[in-house]
Amino acid sequence: MAMVFDEFGRPFIILREQESQSRVRGIEAQKSNISAAKAVARILRSSLGPKGMDKMLQSPDGDVIITNDGATILEQMDVNNQIAKLMVELSRSQDYEIGDGTTGVVVLAGALLEMAETLLDRGIHPIRISEGYEVASRIAVEQLQKIAHKFEFGEGDVEPLVQTCMTTLSSKIVNRCKRSLAEIAVKAVMAVADLERKDVNLDLIKVEGKVGGKLEDTELIYGIVVDKDMSHPQMPKQIQDANIAILTCPFEPPKPKTKHKVEIDTVEKFETLRKQEQQYFDDMVQQCKDVGATLVICQWGFDDEANHLLMHRNLPAVRWVGGVELELIAIATGGRIVPRFQELTPEKLGRAGLVREKAFGTTKDRMLYIEHCANSRAVTIFIRGGNKMMIEETKRSIHDALCVARNLIRNNSIVYGGGSAEIACSIAVDAAADKYPGVEQYAIRAFAEALEAIPMALAENSGLQPIETLSAVKAQQIKENNPCCGVDCNDVGINDMREQNVFETLIGKQQQIMLATQVVKMILKIDDVITPSEY
C-alpha cells in the first residue's frame, strides 16, 4: 500500500495486487540468489587479465566510460537485485582495502557459488558447504604464505616495486605506458611513505588531470598543482621563495548579522562609503604584507576593487581554492589555515621554493604549480591525455598502482601472477581434502575446483584453449614442484611467471580469497527472500 498525490495535491492510496507479491523460500531462494550473483560474475569474467575485454558504460547524462576495472564497472552498473548488490559491495571492499584484484574477487565468488549450486543439487546442506569453504579458505591462505617470496627494497632500489606496479597496469588501457606510470606511482608513494613505521598516507598524493597533450606527458610534481591561476592577469606568474598566507576569510567588508539598509542620497555619502570600503581592503592587504606574505591563497572570491588593490600593492593572490586543496597546500608548505586576518602571524605562513603559473595548449588553460615546498611529503601526479575519458581511466589505473605499492611497503611479500598462485592453492586444497572424512570434503574439493576458474578465465581471455592450457600448467607445477608456473597470457613462450616478472602482493591475494569466501557463505545462508510488498 502506498500514498501518492494527484496534480491538485489530493492524496489517494494505491493497493498493490496481492498476486504480484512474491516470496521465495528454501532451496529455490538459494538457487535464485546464486543465479543473480553468477550473472554479475559472468559480466566481469571477460575483463580479467592483461588481454581482458573492456566494457563501455553510458551514464543517464550520456557520459561514456570505457574501462576494465571491476570496481568501476560494478559501480556504474544499474543493479536492482539485492544479491547482485552484495557482489558490488564485495568488489568495493577489495578496492577500498587493497586497490587491486577487484575483478578477480568477483569471478572467484561466482565460481564458488557455481560449485555450491552443484553441491546443493546433491542434497548437501548449505551450512556444511559453508563450513567446508571456510576450511578450504584457511588452507589456501596458509599455502599462499608458504609460496610467498620476500624482496628487500629501499629508497635507492625500487625496481621490485616498479615491476609489481607494471603487473597491475598491464591489464589496463594505459598498458603502453606502464613502465613510466609505474615509476611515477612508486616515486609518489616513496615520497609520502614512512618506511620505519611501514605506513603510507595516500591522502597526501593528489591525482590531477588536464585534457590535452599525450599520456607520455604525465609527470610527478613534488608539490601541489591547483587548477587555478592568478586573480589578476598583471600579477607576476612566477614567485621565488614564496611566503604563502592561506586564508579562509574573504577580502570584503563584514556583513551585519541583522537585516540592514543603507540610504545614500548625496555624492558625499557615497564617496565616504567608498573610502571606508577602500580603507577596509587596504587594511587587509597591509596585514598580509606586514607579516611578510608574498602570495595569498584564499578559499573565497574577492571583488574587482580588492583584486585591483592587491595588484597595485604587489601582493599576488589566488582565489576560489577548494577546501581539500587548501589542506594539501598547508601540509606541503608547512603553513596554517587562517580563518581571520587578525590571527595572521609570520609563523603561520607556508613556504615554497617556487610558485609558478603554467599555460597549456592553444586554449591557454592555466594551472598553478607550488613546488620545492618546506614539507615535500605532499606530491601531485599530473595526468595528460587526449580526452576526458582517457584521463579518468588513467586516474583509476594510477590508483590501483599506488595501492599496490602501498601494500608492498606494509608487507613486502609477493606471489607470482598469471594464475600460478590460484593453481598452487588449488593443488594444496585438493590434497588436504582427504584428511576430512565428513561431507565437508565435497565442499573442500569444490573450492579447489573453483580456484581454477581464475587461470581458466585468463587463458580464455588471452585466446588460448582454456582446459588444455590449465591442465598443462597444473601438470607442470606438480611435476617441477614450481608454484611460479602460470598462464602465459602475453604469449612469450614461458610459463614461469618469475622469468616474466609478473608479481602480485601477498596480502592482496589473501584478501581476495577471504573476502570471496565470506560473501559466498553469506549468500548461501539466505533461505528466505521477501519482496518489499510483504514487509
Residue 167: CB atoms within 10 Å: 25
- Give the Cα separation of 66 and 54 in Å (integer): 6
Please give the grid coordinates belonging to residue 247: 586564508
Query: Would you list the DSSP string of 337-367?
Result: EESSGGG--GGG-EEEEEEEEEEETTTTEEE
Enter the DSSP assignment of 213: S
Facing residues of 64 across strands? 58
Nearest Cα residue to 519 out of 75, 94, 48 = 94
- Does residue 400 have an active-site annotation? yes
Q: Is 72 annotated in the active site?
A: no
Distance (Å, whole) CA 485 – CA 482: 6
Report the distance separating Cα 87 and Cα 105, nearest Å. 9
Contact 206, 225 (CB under 8 A): yes
Distance CA 14, CA 199 (A): 57
Q: Which three cell numbers stand for residue 23?
A: 516470496
The active-site residue, picked from 95, 100, 229, 400, is: 400
Angstrom CA distances, 196 to 154, 199, 257, stand at 11, 8, 52
103 is catalytic: yes
Which among 139, 117, 135 has a CA at the least distance from the CA of 126? 117
Active-site residue, from 67, 72, 102, 168: 102
Q: For residue 504, what are the β-bridge partners?
A: 415
CA-CA distance, 338 to 344, in Å (whole number)? 6
Closest to 106 measured CA to CA, from 525, 521, 504, 520: 520
Beta-carbon neighbour count of residue 499 at 10 Å? Answer: 11
Cα dihedral: 356, 361, 362, 366 (round 10): -30
- Taking a C-beta distance cutoff of 8 angstroms, is the pair 30, 36 a contact? no
- Give start and end residues of each alpha helix (H) in 122-176: 126-147, 159-169
- 344 — phi, psi (to 5°)? -70, 120
Query: Which residue in this structure is represented by grid cell 594551472?
Result: 367
Query: Hey, what's the cell of 417?
Result: 601472477
Of the candidates 67, 72, 103, 333, the residue annotated as catalytic is 103
DSSP strands (E only) in 278-401: 295-298, 317-318, 337-338, 350-360, 365-373, 379-385
**260-265: Cβ within 8 A, 24+ apart:** none
How far is Cα 465 from Cα 484, in angstroms, rounded to an integer?
Answer: 20
Q: One of 67, 69, 168, 294 is an active-site residue; which one?
A: 69
Active-site residue set: 69, 102-103, 400
